[in-house]
Structure 1
Amino acid sequence: MSAPSPRLIVFDLDGTLIDSRQDLCNSVNAMLDHLGKPELPDEVIASYIGDGASMLVRRALGDPEGDAHDEEDVARAVHYFLEYYRVHKLDFTYVYPGVMDSLAAIRAARHETLMAVLTNKPVNPSRDICDYFGLSDYFFQNYGGNSFHTKKPDPHGLVALIAEASALAGSRIAPAETLMIGDTDVDVLTARAAGAVSVGCSFGLAPERLAAARPDFMVDSPAGWTRVAGVPSPLS
């Protein structure tokens, strides 16, 4: 099955376009070590990813609700994490196999379809990573978790991208003509709140949370994006 003629496709970054798990886990454990706290298993840290840097750090500190630590202490921990990650964000991170081929296939088959990134990762490392791997060539915009006053699953960023894409296209793009592709429940909830079509990536960082959110479509590889978008697969 495919979505009806998508005119805008918005991608999450971590767990969708790139596998950044190891660098994020290493950065969290470097932060914990800096604070004199025990390191956490990678599997545990990976389950905390998806809601932005501040929430990732809070969860690693055992403070998911934000009421067990002094805010200045949290701010210092977040700062250390971000500074470490800024230097080490490309140590082990890679683009998932098939991503570039699928983006190229969509671009070739649907010249008029616009593509963008909407992630909860801070915008500067998001853009730096996309630039480094050549992903930015496919996107008219790349917004991060600090680009707006709210993060996903609040739909504000997605709604803003729809408006921006509509202006570029010269006609209104409806939410139903928009795909939100991501690997966590956060992306599914964002799409649902905006009225967009959600596409879940089961190969990402949070397959259990994703399945529970019940996206409109589920794919097990980047090649599945072309199927949902109704374009020839790069493997065909």
Structure 2
Amino acid sequence: MTLSLIVFDLDGTLIDSRVDLCNAVNATLQHLGRPALPQAVVATYIGDGVGMLIRRALGDPAGERHDDEYVTSAITYFLEYYHVHKLDNTYVYKGVLEALETIKAANPKILMAVLTNKPVNPSRAICAHFGLDRYFFQNYGGNSFHTKKPDPLGLQTLIAEAAALSGKPLTPSQTLMVGDSDVDILTARNCGARSLGCTFGLAPHSLAAAEPDATVDAPSEWPAAIDRLLID
């Protein structure tokens, strides 16, 4: 395989944002007069975008109990709160910056990007704050397109943009999606790309059933895992 593009998920892959996301959800619930939820419970709701995160926290993932106005007001409050508090406790996983630097140095022609279901503005702001943005030619979020992961549109768009930047054709088979949940693995599969699962993230329990091409237990293992995938 000639690898030309590596696309990373954000939450649970590059950063640990569990506490800030959980705090924002519970602040929203309390604003609505509802009891707070345990962080361990809220963490299982992360990964499918803000809308689904809030619906799950409201006990309404199918959208059956609450009208759109109620859910919209909850999402609006969440986003306003999270905008202010998104960096209170969030941090880059140990070894991420070093791994990205190693990948960049060893494979200077490989392009890297971020594709997350988090809204694009906080995603870009967080990456800029931690200096992650210098490694990525693009950063797309859950509101960048009319669909979210695991729909392949975001990944397909990144492949097309990477091909334009490199000046040569780029296929899904030359693309690797790195993420901590089944959402990321299914995104890769739906696009025809390869996948690397991160067992240290927010949803490692979901990886086994999704069957990534390979897994790692720490960001420091990314370079070696990528080398192995290049050989396979």
TM-score (norm 1): 0.95
Partner of 2:215 in structure 1? 218
Deviation (angstroms), 1:68 = 1.5
2:5 partner letter: L
Measured after TM superposition, the shift of residue 228 of structure 1 is: 2.2
Deviations 1:137-183 (A, max 9, x none): 00000000000010000000000000000000111111111000000
Check whether the contact 1:180–1:197 (CA below 8 A) recurs between aligned residues.
yes
Amino acid at match of 1:121: K
For residues 18-57 of structure 1, the aligned pairs below 5 Å read: 18-57=15-54
Unpaired runs of 5+ residues, structure 1, are: 232-236
Question: Among 182, 187, 193, which residue is 1:185 paired with?
Answer: 182
Distance 1:136 1:161 in 2: 15
| Cα distance in 2, alignment partners of residues 6 and 167 from structure 1 | 16
Q: Which residue of 1 aligns with 2:152?
A: 155
Per-residue deviation at 1:221? 0.5
Q: Which residue of 2 aligns with 1:123?
A: 120
Paired residues of 1:5 and 1:229 also in contact (CA < 8 A): no
Q: 2:12 maps to which residue?
A: 15
* In 1: Cα distance, 2:64 partner to 2:169 partner: 42
Kept in 2: contact 1:102–1:223 (CA 8 A): yes
For residues 49 and 212 of structure 1, the distance between their equivalents in structure 2, rounded to whole angstroms, comes to: 18
Paired AA for residue 204 in structure 1: G
| Identical residues among aligned pairs (%) | 66
In the TM superposition, what is the alpha-carbon distance from 1:118 to its structure 2 partner?
Answer: 0.2
Flag structure 2 segments of 5+ consecutive residues without an equivalent.
none
Task: Choose which of 61, 66, 77 in structure 2 pairs with 1:64.
Answer: 61
Query: What displacement does 1:210 show?
Result: 1.6
The alignment of Structure 1 onto Structure 2 pairs a total of residues equal to 228
Alpha-carbon distance between aligned partners in 2 of 1:133 and 1:205, rounded to the nearest angstrom: 19
Q: Is the 8 A contact 1:22 1:42 kept in 2?
A: yes
- 4+ residue runs of structure 1 moved beyond 2 angstroms? none
